[in-house]
Amino acid sequence: MTLFKKVLIANRGEIAVRIIRACRELDIKTAAIYSEIEKDALHVRLADEAICIGPAQSAQSYLNITAIISAAEISDSEAIHPGYGFLAENPHFAEACITSGITFIGPTPENIRLGGDKAKARQIMKRNGIPVVPGSDGIVLDEESALKIVKKIGFPVMLKASSGGGGKGMRIVREEKDIGQMYHMAQRESLAAFGIGDLYIEKYLPEIRHIEVQVLASNKSSIVYLGERDCSIQRRHQKLIEEAPFAFATSKFKKRIGELAVKAAKAMKYRNAGTIEFILDNEGDVYFMEINTRIQVEHPVTEMITGIDIIKEQIKLAAGEPLSLRQNDIKFTGHSMECRINAEDPERFIPSPGRITQFIPPGGPGVRVDTAAYSGWVVPAHYDSLIAKVIVHGNDREEAIMRMRRALDEFIIEGIKTTIPFHKKILSDPDFLKGNFNTSFLEKNDNKTK
């Protein structure tokens, strides 16, 4: 089966560059889109052609479905890869692609819609015997209903936006007197962020690890898992460091969580690449959290330990090719780690846009840098502050950490502030080195990491 002749990348930054590189290795031509302020962006330079689709504001460019579909038609692109962020998890965009006769490189619109409805996804998992955190069976319609559920499962609880993500529309409730206020605060935030105010309830588990599993699924319902990632180092629900595999787990645990991920994907009739996210509590119990219906920012750590190019697999699956991998074919080697380098003040985390006067990425054995930055490039203030991902691979976790330290020491970025100093402090923290951390690590160790 022949793959696509041309793919349009409906994104920008490092993920757009990453997709262009995968397409080039598959002998597929690429079309880039860009806003008026990004005519000198690296993804524009690397693509076979580039089309300006609007002003700097995302709503008028990278979120403009009509303009993106028009760009695909003008460039004779047969498929669109959405990357992550922007329209990647928008079912209307996936539907618009299909209606226009363009292949959407990703899951089905139904998969995306269900992935965005976290309350409904919980219901499906529960019906299929996949453990979920104790909580509501679906949407909680009002604060009175919320209080009834809370009295059954006990405080503390988490109010969560059903369409949520990135920590928005979430509130921890520790006492009965706060339930009404927190309910309305979470609802307003959810409405503002996602246009939907639906909330559901989960028991709040303060001491947890965030473990996720990468899956690949063909149109024939053949599904494999590519191992797990530990994404527990977070700041305000935003991941900062990711590792693969989960270094502090037995092979029995890894097999179990991988099989749970496949079971969850089958329950959703999932297609293409996706990530099943789990919570691991202090007792060793695993609970389904959500499914991410797109390529993840942290996908490179999985690629490093498996040797599998996930972007290429996405493209092949979208073109209708059968899954070329069986579970027994997938081998895991060594340990990989990723640091997300943001253009931010490393102490106050305020965005630091501006011109990069010098940019010298690290190299050497086991070091990979995914970036769209270069010397002279102006980091725009309009978009996400991620400018580079440093990914390393070592024989074990200890070597990966030492290699990451070395890589960050080598990384020269001048003209703007970055989070590199912040990452270096984490990588020297004794508790991090021992694996004594969870999603509350940065909040509890604030004095160490500032």
Catalytic residue among 294, 340, 397, 403: 294
Instruction: Count other C-beta atoms under 10 Å from residue 236's C-beta.
Output: 9
Would you say the C-alpha torsion 18, 165, 270, 129 has a positive or negative sign? positive
Segment 355-358 long-range contacts (CB within 8 Å, at least 24 positions apart) = 355/379, 355/415, 355/416, 356/413, 356/414, 356/415, 356/416, 357/414, 357/415, 358/412, 358/413, 358/414, 358/415
Q: Are strands 358-360 and 412-414 parallel, antiparallel or unpaired?
A: antiparallel
Axis crossing angle, helix 299-306 with helix 310-318, rounded to the nearest 10: 100
Q: How far apart are CA 24 and CA 19, in angstroms?
A: 9
Would you call 176 helix, strand, or coil by DSSP? helix
Does 294 qualify as catalytic in the annotation? yes
Segment 59-62 long-range contacts (CB within 8 Å, at least 24 positions apart) = 60/35, 61/33, 61/34, 61/35, 61/36, 62/10, 62/11, 62/12, 62/33, 62/35, 62/86, 62/87, 62/383
Q: Report whether the peptide linkage leading into residue 245 is cis, meaning its omega lies within 30 degrees of zero.
A: yes
Question: Tokens for 61?
Answer: 């460019």
The amino acid that residue 164 corresponds to is G
Q: By CB neighbour count within 10 A (0-12 exposed, 13-18 middle, 19+ buried), where does 292 fall?
A: buried
The amino acid that residue 373 corresponds to is A
Catalytic residues: 294
